[in-house]
Amino acid sequence: MDFIRVQRISNLLAKPFARDVFKLLVNYQNISASEVATRLDLHIKTAQDFLEELTSLGIASKGEVYEKKRPYYRYEIQKFQFSVEVDLSAFADVASGSDKRLAKKIRERKNAAAVFTVARAGDFLSSVTIFTGEGRAKKERKISLTQAQGRFLYYLPFPTAKPLSVREIIKQSGVTQSFQPEILDIVELLIGYDVIESENKDSG
């Protein structure tokens, strides 16, 4: 089951009225959103949104009926049993250190709206603070770094220095290969915020 679908189902199950809606769907041959709303003392839109999402997920179905020439939908349960399963190993493909991403040449962007904070030990960074927007709309976001990320960014070439590949910087920093996924994650994040510039930003 893909993660987005898991999120959608989990959001429904987390609703305080979810159990009661499912009970109605199971015990009624079919039911309308207004009937669910009045039965459970919910706002009509709240009931309708919940039933529509169930339908979109294939857990329920809906059929259009007419009453005094006014169409509306009645909902019917389709799946009496369903499970929510998350395969976290699927994320490994996204975060894996591909040759293309490791070969990307990067350096700190000139005049980047960010502040790098050096850790007390002095040989790695502890955080990066990014500033976005201008004037009163200016926002500050502080990103805490893992020790591996901090060591990597400590060796990030300055704006005036020659760009180095991610692989070369990892080697210089002494970070072991097992930390490549989290290194690549912070690199992509900082590229997105224009804190790091890449020679092949659009191809990464």
Average pLDDT, integer, range 40-58: 96
The residue whose two tokens read 């839109």 is: 45
Which tokens belong to 168?
């070369």
Task: Kindly list the distances between the CA atom of residue 61 and the CA atoms of 7, 15, 78, 196, in Å, as whole numbers in the listed order.
Answer: 20, 20, 6, 49
Confidence check: pLDDT of 10 > 80: yes
Q: Is the Cβ–Cβ distance between 85 and 43 less than 8 Å?
A: no
Q: Is the Cβ–Cβ distance between 175 and 142 less than 8 Å?
A: no
| Phi and psi at residue 197, to the nearest 5° | -105, 145
Under CATH, what is the fold of the domain 3-77?
Arc Repressor Mutant, subunit A (1.10.10)
The per-residue pLDDT for range 76-129, each reduced to its tens digit, is 999 999 888 888 877 765 555 577 889 999 999 999 999 999 998 778 999 999
Q: Grade residue 200 by pLDDT with cuts at 50, 70 and 90.
A: low
| All structural domains of the chain with their residue ranges | 3-77, 93-203
Under CATH, what is the fold of the domain 93-203?
Outer Surface Protein A; domain 3 (3.90.930)
The per-residue pLDDT for range 172-183, each reduced to its tens digit, is 999 998 899 899
